[in-house]
Structure 1
């Protein structure tokens, strides 16, 4: 399988392992992705999920060698698009924090996968392009919406119209990526960053994600479900441990949960 779920302590890594094709996603890989995300989400030992490409590139998008068969008829096209949509939405719907770790090419469907993650952490070798217009196509509504949320409507249109390559420094400046490191420091930097997140309260991480999602979805002020989400942790074990650790001037020892 060229899409694998790896575990190292509290961090799970979803590895796109097809470097000879710049980690382009085949249909079997799109099909496998939702189950692998669900597996990571169901494992109480896992605090967060990282998405990474093997080798020099993140993801070259959908594998173009399958286009002739995958889009030969309206029914085949609908099935192919549904598989891709299900994969991207499974990643976007994960309740645990998700990090896209990006170096090299991040193109088309690769950008969609990256945008479905909570954070995009990039090497200065990263380069981005959203290229459907080169094939006479357009980006899906959900993918376009996530791109607009990241960079704004005007920049989204410019990227979609031109299909140009956006270098890492520009991607950081426009909000397409959240953090950027030199390639020479990238592996160490993302390892330290992910480990730092994994060491915090897991219920709090999930709560932050749910709070931001609710607000982004248009929750009214003082929404009851978000108010409950805020109030509940005050009675939790992690608040008691975090408070005790703060007073004792020691690192907190949060348990899996």
Structure 2
């Protein structure tokens, strides 16, 4: 089994999806793009994982796609479509992952690396991290799904700025435009991310996953209630987590949720 993308299981409900090609600053090879959905499927099926942290090995998130593969990957229209399909499968798989996700961003987070970070629910960055999306520097076009997630995060004007120029920006500017959710000193980033993840793992997993589904409906353009959204609410009212949460509130104690 390849170790270029690792699923690590930590204690207390936290899993880690680790991009593991540090000698190339975790530049994403086609093999790695294909491995991401496999590791996500493992994490989705594992009841011990409640929150997934996505990060790179060796102090770098990911320097982008592995450019050394471009000549072969883009040799023909067919090979290009296959390569793009592998990238899209990783991006969409992470964006639609059932459990909450947090990108832990250290060092460079560029191109496809930032695309993966944007596919996470939250992004926490070290204060010395550098981010950018560079298709305009390569004569490429950013795919629709990736562009949509960027626009949702920063708005159309900032998205155009980043895509038109391909410039790199620091963590403080990324925070100001909404590209990341939190910035911490490099030595404090790990602890801050784990502390936040622990807040999620302590909450009802039934609720967090249903909330994620509901928000994804909004982002997909749904504006009115449907039988499915009404059922989502009614099912929650009848669920064991709501009964436990209600009783714990009345009894002034911490709830002991059981849904995995």
Which of 27, 33, 41 is the equivalent residue of 1:24? 27
Which of 212, 223, 227 is the equivalent residue of 2:226? 223
Q: Which residue of 2 aligns with 1:2?
A: 4
Contact 1:44 1:256 in 2 (8 A): no
The Cα shift of 1:170 comes to 0.8
The TM-score, its normalising length taken from structure 2, stands at 0.95
Q: Which residue of 2 aligns with 1:14?
A: 17
Contact 2:8 2:16 in 1 (8 A): yes
Quick one: distance in 1 between partners of 2:249 and 2:182? 28
- Stretches of 4+ aligned residues off by more than 4 angstroms: none
The Cα shift of 1:202 comes to 0.7
Unmatched 5+ residue regions in structure 1? none
**C-alpha deviations, 1:63-113, integer Å up to 9, x for none?**
111112111222221111111111111111111111111111110001110
Q: Which residue of 2 aligns with 1:83?
A: 86
Which of 108, 115, 119 is the equivalent residue of 2:118? 115
Q: Secondary structure at the match of 1:50?
A: strand
Quick one: distance in 1 between partners of 2:253 and 2:25? 44
Quick one: distance in 2 between partners of 1:71 and 1:254? 49
Instruction: Please report the RMSD computed on the Cα atoms of aligned residues, expressed in angstroms.
Output: 1.3
Q: Which residue of 1 aligns with 2:171?
A: 168
Alignment of 1:1-257 (within 5 A): 1-9=3-11, 10-257=13-260
Contact 2:124 2:189 in 1 (8 A): no
Q: Secondary structure at the match of 2:6?
A: strand
The TM-score, its normalising length taken from structure 1, stands at 0.96
Quick one: distance in 1 between partners of 2:109 and 2:5? 16
Quick one: distance in 1 between partners of 2:147 and 2:220? 16
